[in-house]
Chains A and B, each alone.
Chain A
């Protein structure tokens, strides 16, 4: 199953990912992304990939 991965060093807390897929992404108190789950079933794939791609600093990736 595809897996979403985060680069916590790159994350700048823009929150585009949270707006795109609020069931997968959150921010902590410092504004760094928190992955609520990492495995992405096929039915969520397009939505989660779009959310990951909306990151302005490419801190998120969905890997097969």
Chain B
């Protein structure tokens, strides 16, 4: 009988694992199981070009049926996983069917944290293609958009909606929202970016309740203010899709718990990839989970390698990387930033049109960086994070590159 690798989850982590297995010469069967009936699609454009309507839905397809057939990837779409019989090597699906596996890859991702203010038409989250379609349809009706949560998804959707000409208000309980990720000074610049592009910001204020219906909601805020909105987007984070593992006996702790090779700590032939995976990062000496596109891609390549090289597996020790496009800013974050890390800032958004905030946990070596509109600095930081570099060395490299290049007035 052929060996079988079953991959649960048909988003970027699952698709890339399947493709990378073939690249590594895997000759067994590959079965890719997805809960949605859609062909696998890419999620980053959903808050940008797909929401704006400037990218066709077909352009975000990750794997069509012809490509799957060519690679010998069996697509099983529209099947939600129900559990794993670890001893029996069976993946159980809703409806009673079960798939036998030799290796299993858990890549079920995360779902948008649901609105605590009720679910009804006009109150949206943004995670899936269906979510994007439904929000886009409501944005097309015009009217005020209220975005609750100024994280990446909320901020990107707010920028996209402004680009479509809508009036947009962003609400966040933190006084300086991006200070969650960076520090107050850099966080302040993000607030300025949105305000200078015509977004109204209400920061340091929560939402008590959402009254009314689609087209005429009233958001009652914790500062006593009321805000009218036609449409509401709730962007308050994501939750790993791990509840279906509860009967499996596998260790789950805010994601499925993996060793440094991305194998479950209970069963070495069961692996995890992407947003649902909490693995032992050797260099950080901690179990971490990352909800970013690049991590899913890199982790998928590592898991495919480890499935095909079980005698000589590779530890997964990535340098974190995430990007976000908001208005005319291309924001890129490398490594670990914010928190208690000391930082220096090179450049200024208004003077140079670009900047890099360099962070150091030990006071000497670069531990992370936040970079806006400055590709050469991004590259220097990503290379430096790979080889090791001090903040001072990097500063001496970057400062001479700064020419005053103010942003075009927006």
Contacts and interface: CB of A to CB of B under 8 A. Distances in A.
Contact of A19 (B24, B323, B330, B386): B386
Interface string A31-50: 10000000000000110011
Interface in B332-386: 332, 375-376, 378-379, 382-383, 386
A49 B23 CA distance: 8
A15 B382 contact: yes
A54 B379 contact: no
Interface in A7-64: 12-16, 18-19, 22, 26-27, 29-31, 45-46, 49-50, 53-54, 56
Interface string B2-27: 00000000000000100110011000
Contacts of B332: 14
A46 B23 contact: yes
A18 B383 contact: yes
Contacts of A12: 330
Given A19-B386, A54-B298, A13 B19 contact: no
Interface residues of B, number: 23
How many interface residues does chain A have, given as a range? 20 to 34
Given A12-B330, A13-B330, 8 more contacts: A16-B321, A18-B383, A45-B23, A53-B19, A54-B298, A54-B301, A56-B44, A56-B323
25 contacts: A14-B323, A14-B332, A15-B378, A16-B321, A18-B382, A19-B319, A19-B321, A19-B383, A19-B386, A27-B376, A27-B379, A30-B375, A31-B375, A31-B376, A31-B378, A46-B23, A49-B23, A50-B23, A53-B16, A53-B297, A54-B294, A54-B297, A56-B293, A56-B294, A56-B323
Interface of A: 12-16, 18-19, 22, 26-27, 29-31, 45-46, 49-50, 53-54, 56
